[in-house]
Amino acid sequence: MVLEEATCLGPDETFDRLARLAAKAVQSSAAFVSLVDCAADESIFAGITGLPEISPGERKMLSQTICRHVVSTGTPLVVADTQTHPLARNEPALRELGLGAYLGVPLTTAAGEVVGVLCTVDRHEREWSPVQVEIAEGLAAAVMTEIGLRTSMTAAARQAEERAAILESLRTADLRFRSLIENIPLVTYMNSVEEPFTSIYMSPQVEGLIGYTPEEWAQRPELAVDGIHPDDRVRVQALAREARQRGVPTRCEFRFVARDGSVVWVLDQTIPVRDDSGTILCHQGFLLDITEQKRLEDQLRQSQKMEAIGQLAGGIAHDFNNMLTAITGYAELLAHSFDEDDSRAADVDQIRKAAAHAAALTRQLLAFSRKQVLLPQRLDVNDVVRDLEGMLARTIGAQVELKTSLADGLALVETDPDQLAQVVLNMAINGRDAMPSGGVLTIATTIVGSNARPFVAVEISDTGTGMDEATQARVFEPFFTTKDTGKGTGLGLATAYGVVSQSGGRIELDSVLGRGSTFRVLLPAAA
């Protein structure tokens, strides 16, 4: 009988090595080998490591309970807590031996006979992972199937150690791979080949990007299409369909509507995964958040467009100003040639007034093109807003409520106070005009940005009609206006843009149709 062969071995160095290796491989505090003779109701304990000496009575108790179960079933027994497990909770000696948790795997001969148990234990309750169960089984199998219990046990232990090392390497590689995939700043995924292209794997970063969990992607394949922005859906579907038919990689930028309704720009790059015969097994790829990149690209395009328009406006303003100088000079000379009571003197005065209005127009163009001479000084923007409150209240009328919210302790800025006041006034008037039936105009100040580069923000918000995207794209262009003919030159916001840019700042705009607009003037804090 195999057990009779095994009894000759006793607790030799082979079992010692096997027990130590098992304890180390599954990270337990103790381990031992129990060779069980079910017919004789006997057990031989060998290779004990990490446990006190086990008495004959304790050995018999173990052989008749949890070890006997492993031998009789031929399957591993995983006990997270010996106090609650049905096979162990009635045996107080288990806790006395320091067995709070137990993992036992069968020792099976090549003929399929279970002759013992490789046991690993811990003093306290714990969970055993599937990987740890697999490692213990691998150790037992390496010892029992490669060589017999009686012959070359040292070689068997070496084989078991190598197998355990391989399993540990695989487990470590899997952990490293998952750690890499789940911590890079993009979403990785794998989809099936056939429609509806169900999700095989979706990395957890997708929840932070779009709001849906990987489990939801697996359960709702339609998300991959329904979540695409309606304006981009047809284009993206056509591109994906063509790429799948041709079996080639795809690279596409589109907008995705997140769970909370926000719009996220993503770069989606997909490649087909093939087997050795060239058959496509699945598609894998990644999603990269490019929302900020798209915003910066839009800002750059707008800046380039405004720069070009500004150069044109500045050139026109200088030429126009030269002509106005001549007109004004000749009008002055002509006025001196008439007597005060001459009716033609009034006509000359109208020429001078028209030239003065035209000169004011050129100053606005020069301000927009950032070629006007400013007289900057250090100032508190709160003082500018307070000085304007009275004028603004009269200017915007009784049907519009004026509110101010000025932050304390603002940093100083360096700009032309008169020009800054004109910027705020122009934006306030625009806000009033956007509320023909009345509303609320709010002027607020605050500090934004980082400590390394702080900005002082002046926000002018209205509850008016708001603007669509097309209007927002052109709002700072000179002579662009949504007002009726004769009610505006279209230079108010263009002038504000030039003044703020010349002061080293910028203007941001947030607007929603039917919900109002907010202009945010950002000026760098003075050093």
Task: Report pLDDT for 3.
Answer: 36
Kindly provide the b/e burial profile for residues 416-429, where b requires at least 16 CB atoms within 10 angstroms of the residue's own CB.
Answer: bbebbbbbbbbbbb
Residue with tokens 């058959």: 279
Fold for the domain defined by 2-179: Beta-Lactamase (3.30.450)
Instruction: Say what the pLDDT of residue 18 is.
Output: 76
φ/ψ bin of 485: left (φ > 0), alpha (ψ from -120 to 50), beta (otherwise): beta
The angle, 0 to 180 degrees and rounded to 10, between the axes of the packed helices 417-433 and 492-502 is 150
Residue 334's SS3 state is: helix
Tally of helices (H runs) and strands (E runs) in the chain? 17, 17
H or E stretch at 444: strand 439-449
The pLDDT score that the predictor gives to residue 318 is: 67
Which residues neighbour 142 within 8 Å (Cβ) at sequence distance 6 or greater?
A: 156, 159, 160, 162, 163, 164
What is d(CA 135, CA 52) in angstroms, rounded to the nearest whole number? 25
Nearest to 490 by CA among 479, 500, 499, 498: 479
What's the CA gap between 58 and 64, in Å, rounded?
Answer: 10
Specify the pLDDT at position 360.
62
Predicted pLDDT at 518: 94
Measure the CA–CA gap between 484 and 488, rounded to whole angstroms.
7
- The matching CATH number, chosen from 3.40.50.2000, 3.30.420.40, 3.40.30.10, 3.30.565.10, for 377-524 is 3.30.565.10
DSSP 389-451: HHHHHHHH-TTEEEEEEE-TTPPPEEE-HHHHHHHHHHHHHHHHHT-TT-EEEEEEEEEEE-S
Model confidence over 321-346: pLDDT tens digits? Answer: 778 788 888 888 888 887 777 778 78
Q: Could you give phi then psi for residue 414, rounded to 5 degrees?
A: -120, 105
User: Residue 443's pLDDT is what?
Assistant: 94
- Write down the pLDDT at residue 522: 94
**Residues 165, 167, 168: CA angle, nearest 5 degrees:** 60
Per-residue pLDDT at 516: 92
| 84 DSSP assignment | T
Alpha-carbon span 100 to 128, nearest angstrom: 12
pLDDT at 149: 47
Query: Which tokens is 144 given?
Result: 């029992």
Q: Which pLDDT does position 367 carry in this prediction?
A: 53
The two three-digit tokens of residue 226, written as one number: 């329904």
**Residue given tokens 């932050």 in the structure block:** 407
- 82-119: per-residue pLDDT in tens? 888 888 777 766 767 777 889 999 988 777 888 888 88
pLDDT of residue 151: 46
Tell me whether strands 400-406 and 439-449 are parallel, antiparallel or unpaired.
Answer: parallel
pTM score: 0.38
| Total residues found in the chain within this entry | 527
Amino acid letter at 92? P
- 187-289 classified as CATH 2.40.128.280: no
The low-confidence residues of the chain, meaning pLDDT below 50, are: 1-11, 146-147, 149-154, 370-371, 485-486
Query: What per-residue confidence (pLDDT) applies to 242?
Result: 85
Q: Hey, is 302 helix, strand or coil?
A: helix
Cis-peptide into 196, omega within 30 deg = yes
- The three-class DSSP label of residue 389 is helix
Q: How far is CA 247 from CA 40, 58, 284, 303, 421, in A?
A: 66, 66, 12, 41, 62
